[in-house]
Amino acid sequence: MRTSQYLLSTLKETPASAEVISHQLMLRAGLVRNVASGLYTWLPTGLKVLKKVENIVREEMQRAGSNEVLMPMVQPADLWEESGRLNDYGPELLRLNDRHNRDFVLGPTHEEVITKLVANELSSYKQLPLNVFQIQTKFRDEIRPRFGVMRGREFLMKDAYTFHLEHECLEKTYQKMFDAYCRIFDRLGLDYRPVIADTGSIGGDASHEFHVLADSGEDDIAFSDASDFAANVEKAEALAPSGEREEPSKDIELVELKLERLIKTTDTPLNASVKTLLVQGTATDDESEKFVALVLRGDHQLNEVKAENLPSVASPLTLATEEQISALVNCHSTSLGPKGLSVEVIVDRSAAHLSDFTCGANENNRSYTGVNWQRDCGDITVADIRNVVEGDPSPCGKGNIVIKRGIEVGHIFQLGQKYAEAMNCAVLNEGGKNQTLTMGCYGIGVSRIVAAAIEQNHDKYGIKWPKAIAPFQAAIVPMNMAKSARVKETAESLYEQLLQDGVEVLFDDRKERPGVMFADHELMGTPLLLIVGERNLDEKKVELKNRITGEKTLIAIEDVKALFS
Ligand code: ATP
Ligand code: MG
Ligand code: MG
Ligand code: MG
C-alpha cells in the first residue's frame, strides 16, 4: 500500500472526548472514528489490526475443533421468549419491530439461535460433542458506552458454543477451550490472567474470565509484590482503608466452598507449598447474599487465614485472626480436595448476592482454574474481621498486596442445561431415549482486544503493536524522494520486492517532511521502518529503525527480505 492511496487519517491533537490512552491513540492514529455513542467506523489501519486479532482467534478455535458458522444479528424475540431471557436480559437488549410489527432483538449474544439450530440439526448422540463458533457483530445498549471500542454498543465478538451429552464431556471441552484461550492471548502478545468469574445473566455453573492487565481496566486483580502470593480479585473496587474493625452482620452463616479440583494454568506442579488461596465475591442487588469472610487451609493443617468483606459498594479485603478461624474450622469440618486445599466462605445472607469470585494461590502470577465450589451451610458467628488494603502484608506472610486493574477480554462458561432444557434441545442417547444436551459458551471481545493491546503497548509517541497484530509489518520511508532519483528508484524497487514476497508494507510516498512521516509511523506503531536515504545508497544500504527498541542500524538492501522470512 502507498500512503498516497491510503486513508491515513492521523491527528496531531488528542481529542478531548477520549479519556483513556487507547481511545486517544485509536483516534489519533486513524484506527476508528465515532459515528454515534458506542458506534464506530473502523478505518483501514484499525480494520487491519481487527482482522489480525480475528484471524488468530479463528485459527485457534479451528485448532480446538470448533466449526465456524455465521448467525444473524437480528433475532426473533420469540426465541428469547422461549429461553426466558426476553424479560431477564434488561435494557441492554435492543428490541425492534419489522414492517409487519413482529418483534425482534439485536443479538447481544447467540445462545438462543444456536440452541435452536442444534435442536433442529442433531438427532443422535453419535453427532456429539459439537463445537461451533462465529465472529460477529453484537449489539448491547450499554448504559455508559465509553473508552472507545473498549465498551461500545456495537462490537465484534467471537462466540463459541459446545454441546454435550454428559457433563464430564463438557468439562473436557471447557478445559480445551480454556487452553485455546491461553494460546490466543499468548499469540497476541498480551499480559493476561484468567480468573474465576460470575455466570451473570447467561446462567450456569463454572466460568472464567480472561483479563488483560492495564490501569484503565474496570476490574481489580490482586497480587503480592513478592513472589509468594498472587490472587486475582475481580470486580472489587479499590480496597478499603485498613485498621478499622468491622462489626460483622448478625445474619451470618458459613458456606463451605470445597475445592474438588485444582488445575493450574501453568505447568508448575501445585504442591504443599501452596498455603493460601484468595477468593472474592462481588455484591449485586439481585439476591440476598454476600461474602464476608474466607477461611483458607493448606495441605495438612491450617496455614493461613484470610477473610474478605464485600459491602455493597467498596470491597475491602479482610483478614481474620487464626483463633477465629480455628473456631470456624472446629465447628465446621472441611474436607480437603485431592490437591489438599480447601476454602470456607462465610456468607451474610442479609446483604447482596455473591456474583463473582476469583481464585489464586501463593505463587507469583499464578491463578487456578477449574475449581469446583460446593456449598454446605451451617450457622456461625464471626467476631473480629480486619480490613486489608494495598500495601498490607500478604496473607501468606511474604510480600505486600498490590492491586492491579484488568480488562475483561474473554469469558467462558459451563452453561449446563439451562438453554437446552428451555428450548428442547435433545438427542437420542445410546439407550434410544431422549436426552437433554449440556452446553458450554465461550466469548472473546475481538474489538475490545484492539484497545486492550494498546493500553498495554504504547509510549509517548504512539502505539507499539505486538508483532502479531501490527497493521503493517514495515514501512518504507524515503528521504527527499522528490530531489533524489536514486532514492525514489531504490524505494520503489524495494517496495515491489517486498510486495512480491508477501510482506505487508506501507510505502510512504507522500511529499512530506521526514519528521512528519516519522511521527505518523511512530503514532501508528509500524514495527520496522526502512529509511531510504541518499547517504547510505553508495553502500547499497538502508537504515532500519525498530519501533519497539528504538534501535537504528544499517542493513544491506539485499538482506531486507530476510527480515520477514
Ligand atoms: P463487561 O463486564 O465488560 O460488560 P460482559 O461480561 O458483559 O463484559 P460477556 O457477556 O462476557 O461480556 O461477553 C464476552 C466478551 O465480549 C467480554 O469478555 C468482552 O471482552 C466483550 N464485550 C462485552 N461487552 C462489550 C462491549 N460493550 N464492548 C466491547 N466488547 C465487549
Ligand atoms: Mg456487560
Ligand atoms: Mg463482565
Ligand atoms: Mg463477561
CATH class of domain segment(s) 253-383: alpha beta
Q: 217: which 3 cell numbers?
A: 481496566
Q: Compute the distance from residue 408 Cα to the ligand 3 centre, in Å.
A: 6
Q: Among the atoms of ligand 1, which is closest to the Cα of residue 140?
A: 27
Q: Compute the distance from residue 411 Cα to the ligand 4 centre, in Å.
A: 5
Phi-psi map region of 90: left, alpha, beta (phi>0 left; psi -120 to 50 alpha): left
Q: Compute the distance from residue 209 Cα to the ligand 3 centre, in Å.
A: 8
Q: Is the separation of the CB atoms in 346 and 255 below 8 Å?
A: yes
Nearest residue (CA) to ligand 1, atom 16: 445
Ligand 1, from 110, 411, 444, 447: best to mutate by most atoms within 8 Å of Cβ?
411
pLDDT in tens, 130-161: 999 999 999 999 988 999 999 999 999 999 99
Biggest distance spanned by C-alpha atoms of the chain: 88
Q: Is the separation of the CB atoms in 299 and 341 below 8 Å?
A: yes
Q: Compute the distance from residue 257 Cα to the ligand 4 centre, in Å.
A: 22
Nearest residue (CA) to ligand 1, atom 11: 411
Give the pLDDT score at 201. 46
Give the pLDDT score at 218. 78
Q: Which residue numbers in the chain have pLDDT < 50?
A: 199-203, 227-389, 395-396
The structural domains of the chain, with segments of one domain joined by +, span 17-237+402-455, 253-383, 474-563
Closest listed residue to residue 252, CA positions, set 341, 320, 336, 301 = 320
Give the pLDDT score at 301. 27
Q: 382: which 3 cell numbers?
A: 464471626
Q: Compute the distance from residue 410 Cα to the ligand 4 centre, in Å.
A: 7
Q: Is the dihedral of CA 256, 260, 262, 263 positive or negative?
A: negative
| Ligand found nearest the CA of 159 | 1
Give the pLDDT score at 513. 92
pLDDT in tens, 361-413: 333 333 333 333 333 222 222 222 223 346 666 544 567 766 677 899 999 99
Distance in angstroms (rounded) separating the CA atoms of residues 231 and 306: 12
Count CB-CB contacts under 10 A for residue 433.
Answer: 10
The complex scores an ipTM of 0.99
Query: Which three-class secondary structure string do you get for 245-299?
Result: EECCCCCEEEEEECCCCCEECCCCCCCCCCCCEEECCCEECCCCCEEEEEEEECC
Give the pLDDT score at 196. 64
Nearest residue (CA) to ligand 1, atom 1: 408
Nearest residue (CA) to ligand 1, atom 22: 445
Q: Among the atoms of ligand 1, which is closest to the Cα of residue 410?
A: 18
Q: 427: which 3 cell numbers?
A: 438427542
Distance in angstroms (rounded) separating the CA atoms of residues 458 and 477: 21
Ligand 1, from 37, 408, 415, 441: best to mutate by most atoms within 8 Å of Cβ?
408
Give the pLDDT score at 195. 74
Distance in angstroms (rounded) separating the CA atoms of residues 348 and 543: 65
CATH number of 17-237+402-455: 3.30.930.10
> Which residues surround ligand 1 with Cβ inside 6 Å?
140, 142, 151-152, 155, 157, 408-411, 443, 445, 447-448
Q: 278: which 3 cell numbers?
A: 484468595
Decide: helix, strand or coil at residue 223: strand
CATH number of 474-563: 3.40.50.800
What is the CA 407 to chain-centroid distance, rounded?
6
Decide: helix, strand or coil at residue 160: strand
Instruction: Give the angle subtended at the CA of 23 by the CAs of 21 and 28, to the nearest 5°.
Output: 90
Nearest residue (CA) to ligand 1, atom 8: 408
Nearest residue (CA) to ligand 1, atom 27: 151
Q: Among the atoms of ligand 1, which is closest to the Cα of residue 151?
A: 28
Give the pLDDT score at 347. 37
Q: Compute the distance from residue 120 Cα to the ligand 3 centre, in Å.
A: 31
Nearest residue (CA) to ligand 1, atom 26: 151
pTM for this prediction: 0.74
pLDDT in tens, 232-241: 333 222 222 2
Give the pLDDT score at 325. 26
